[in-house]
Amino acid sequence: MSKKITVLLSLVLAAQTSVSVADNANGKKLYLQRCAVCHGTDIRGTGPLANKSNPATPDLTLPGFRKRLDEYPGVIVSSVILRPSGNLIPKTLRENGVKIPPHAWSINDLRDLHQYMSSVIFRKN
């Protein structure tokens, strides 16, 4: 794991355990604006672009991903920062004429997004 992501992750996890409560409204807004077009409002991979890429957008509420998130709480944050699938996401957006303006992610944004998505994913137990 790179130094940058390690530092960011520890900041996000520290922010989570601090007295400030994560802002689910902000997390939800970020998710709906930037992720739902593929991942779907239900995080089950049901967005309009879900099947426009190869691989398709996965259902993140399935036990496999829940286990992954449990073991590696940084997986959501790292998927935003590290772009582990390379060009796949920008390419899919471009090919389908969807523009998502760039965003200057703050630590709180990453914390809120992580918190919001986790709450939806684990609610479906």
CA atoms within 13 A on the CB side of 102: 2
Interface pick for ligand HEC out of 39, 59, 118, 121 (rule CB under 6 A)? 39
CB nearer to ligand HEC: pick between 19 and 98: 98
d(CA 7, CA 4) in angstroms, rounded, equals 5
For residue 19, the minimal CB distance to ligand HEC (Å) is: 25
Count Cβ neighbours within 10 Å for each residue of 52-74 and write b for 16 or more, e otherwise. bbeeebebbbeeebbeebeeeeb
Closest distance of CB 7 from ligand HEC, Å: 19
Position among 58, 73, 82, 108 found at the interface with ligand HEC (CB under 6 A): 58
The upper half-sphere exposure of residue 75, i.e. CA atoms within 13 Å in the direction of its Cβ, equals 13
Cα gap 77→98, rounded to integer Å:
22
Q: Does residue 46 bind ligand HEC (CB under 6 A)?
A: no
Out of 1, 55, 101, 102, point to the residue binding ligand HEC (CB under 6 A).
55
- Chain residues binding ligand HEC by CB under 6 A are 34-35, 37-39, 49, 53, 55, 57-58, 60, 65, 68, 75-76, 79-80, 84-85, 88-89, 92-93, 113
